[in-house]
């Protein structure tokens, strides 16, 4: 019996086999960051357990309290979600420039200056415009200032060759100093004696909570920002051009892509999101701009972005996880007698392990379809 080359059954079988292989390749590439990320977390927790044992405490008790404080009850879950809200935005400040091969670690500066800008822009309009209009004014001011601040690091990188990692970090320290100067000087509320701050927002002008939850609307804003960022990177031509430039700047320049505008544009957008995080802290949590704006959200956002592999959608669950770890700090301090900063040690350990595990991407045959073809 012979089979014709144009046999429909043979074509269907071959097409189905090719489709199945494409599906396997897609799953393999998507599974790699998840698998390596989980392994990195487990290794980090194991190393942190050694640290806890060294100080004479039980790692099992610590992890139980960490779960209880972060996700063990509806109250703790809401607390974790509230803490995750600014992390969503500060992580985007790292993730978006990373698509261009840039490492921005100065989101903290955009957060504090964004908060100051939001508070300053609100003062003349309180009691004059409706709250929703005031929130828009505050958000625009915060995003403009944050965008200019981080965009300046991108400007220095492209036009002067200044390392963006160093410049953004130094700019963060300058921003914190400027924030203290404004809060303790020009914008200080005379009634704030023990803790200098700007004039507080009235209760009616505070950003409210999501109905049925004790979580402010900043969480929704952060989630929407992550979704929009994913659309920007994966669907738009602007994002496609950025991915090309991030893969090979020289090739992008040969193709005529505006690399300079891409770098400055993406860093400015990233800084705008970090500035928005500062606005949310003022409008939903603090009620005014003060030293509490420098709470380290910008630095924790670095860990969130790297753990999420700079994927805006993956940032959402990772930020919630890190928010839960941060929320458990007080419970760990009370129950185990450990410093509240213990969770910072854990975050630092996880970050080091994650950076180390970056070297393993693309090395495992099961996750690399290119190696399948060679075998």
The pair of structure tokens assigned to 72 is: 């063990």
What is the average pLDDT score of the chain?
87
Q: List, in order, residues 6 or more apart from 222 with CB less than 8 Å away.
A: 84, 85, 86, 87, 88, 89, 277, 280, 319
Q: Max Cα separation, the chain?
A: 97
Q: Quote the pLDDT of residue 151.
A: 96
Let me know if residue 344 belongs to a domain.
no
Q: Quote the pLDDT of residue 40.
A: 87
Let me know if residue 80 belongs to a domain.
no
Let me know if residue 15 belongs to a domain.
no
Let me know if residue 236 belongs to a domain.
yes
Report the candidate in 161, 44, 179, 171 with the shortest Cα–Cα distance to residue 105.
171
The pair of structure tokens assigned to 40 is: 């990195």
Contact 165/103 with Cβ under 8 angstroms? yes
How far is 286 from 114, CA to CA, in rounded Å? Answer: 13
pLDDT tens digit sequence for 11-52: 555 556 667 666 766 676 677 777 888 888 899 999 999 989
Report the candidate in 201, 186, 209, 191 with the shortest Cα–Cα distance to residue 122.
201
The pair of structure tokens assigned to 63 is: 């992890």
Q: What is the mean pLDDT of residues 329-338?
A: 86
Instruction: Among 99-103, 139-143, 246-250, name the most confident range.
Output: 139-143
Let me know if residue 349 belongs to a domain.
no
Query: If you count them, how many residues does the chain have?
Result: 375
Contact 66/273 with Cβ under 8 angstroms? no
How far is 248 from 146, CA to CA, in rounded Å? Answer: 28
Report CA Rg, the chain: 24
Which domain, by its residues, includes 239? Answer: 85-327
- pLDDT beyond 50 at 140: yes
Residue 209: beta bridge partners?
216
Contact 325/70 with Cβ under 8 angstroms? yes
pLDDT bin (cut points 50, 70, 90) of residue 368 is low
Residue 216: beta bridge partners?
209
Let me know if residue 350 belongs to a domain.
no
Report the candidate in 107, 108, 92, 114 with the shortest Cα–Cα distance to residue 232.
92
**What DSSP string describes 250-314?**
HHHHHTT--HHHHHHHHHHHHHHHHHHHHHHIIIIIISS-BGGG-SSHHHHHHHHHHHTTT-HHH
How far is 192 from 198, CA to CA, in rounded Å? Answer: 8
Number of domains in the chain: 1
pLDDT tens digit sequence for 166-204: 999 999 999 999 999 999 988 998 888 788 999 999 988
Let me know if residue 28 belongs to a domain.
no
Q: Quote the pLDDT of residue 370.
A: 62
φ/ψ of residue 290, rounded to 5: -155, -175
How far is 125 from 324, CA to CA, in rounded Å? Answer: 36
Report the candidate in 107, 115, 86 with the shortest Cα–Cα distance to residue 149.
107
Report the candidate in 309, 261, 361 with the shortest Cα–Cα distance to residue 94.
309
Q: Which helix (H) or strand (E) holds 334?
A: helix 329-336
State how far Cα 36 lies from the chain centre.
Answer: 19
Q: Quote the pLDDT of residue 1.
A: 46
Give the CATH number of the domain where residue 153 resides: 1.10.3470
pLDDT tens digit sequence for 255-314: 788 888 899 999 999 999 999 999 999 999 999 999 999 988 999 999 999 989 899 999
Q: List, in order, residues 6 or more apart from 178 with CB less than 8 Å away.
A: 113, 116
Residue with tokens 């089979």: 3
Q: What is the mean pLDDT of residues 207-231?
A: 93
| Percent of all residues in the chain with a pLDDT value above 90, rounded to a whole number | 53
Residue 299: beta bridge partners?
none
- pLDDT beyond 70 at 209: yes
Let me know if residue 5 belongs to a domain.
no
């Amino acid at each position: 019996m012979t089979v014709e080359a144009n046999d429909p059954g043979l074509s269907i079988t071959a097409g189905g086999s090719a489709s199945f292989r494409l599906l396997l390749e897609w799953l393999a590439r998507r599974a790699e960051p998840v698998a390596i990320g989980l392994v990195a977390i487990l290794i980090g927790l194991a190393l942190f357990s050694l640290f806890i044992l060294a100080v004479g405490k039980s790692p099992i008790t610590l992890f139980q309290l960490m779960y209880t404080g972060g996700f063990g009850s509806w109250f703790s879950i809401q607390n974790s979600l509230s803490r995750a809200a600014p992390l969503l935005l500060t992580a985007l400040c790292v993730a978006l420039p990373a698509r261009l091969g840039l490492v921005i670690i100065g989101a903290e500066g955009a957060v504090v200056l964004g908060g100051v800008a939001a508070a300053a822009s609100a003062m003349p309009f309180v009691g004059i415009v409706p709250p929703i209009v005031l929130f828009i004014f505050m958000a625009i001011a915060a995003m403009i200032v944050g965008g200019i601040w981080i965009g300046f690091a991108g400007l220095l990188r492209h036009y002067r060759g200044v390392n963006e990692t160093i410049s953004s970090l130094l700019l963060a320290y300058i921003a914190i100093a400027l924030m203290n100067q404004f809060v303790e000087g020009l914008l200080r509320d005379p009634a704030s004696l023990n803790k200098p701050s700007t004039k507080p927002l009235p209760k009616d002008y505070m950003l409210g909570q999501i109905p049925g939850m004790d979580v402010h609307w900043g969480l929704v804003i952060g989630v929407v920002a992550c979704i929009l960022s994913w659309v920007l990177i994966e669907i738009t031509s602007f994002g496609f051009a950025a991915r090309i430039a991030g893969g090979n700047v020289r090739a992008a320049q040969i193709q005529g892509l505006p690399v300079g505008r891409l770098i400055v544009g993406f860093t400015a957008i990233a800084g705008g999101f970090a500035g928005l995080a500062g606005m949310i802290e003022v409008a939903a949590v603090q009620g005014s701009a003060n030293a509490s704006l420098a709470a380290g959200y910008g630095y924790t956002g670095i860990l969130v972005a790297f753990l999420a592999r700079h994927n805006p959608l993956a940032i959402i669950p990772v930020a919630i996880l890190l928010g839960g770890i941060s929320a458990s700090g007080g419970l760990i301090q009370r129950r185990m007698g450990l410093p509240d900063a213990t969770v910072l040690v854990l975050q630092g350990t996880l970050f080091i392990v994650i950076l180390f595990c970056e070297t393993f991407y693309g090395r495992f045959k099961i996750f690399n379809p290119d190696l399948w073809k060679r075998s």
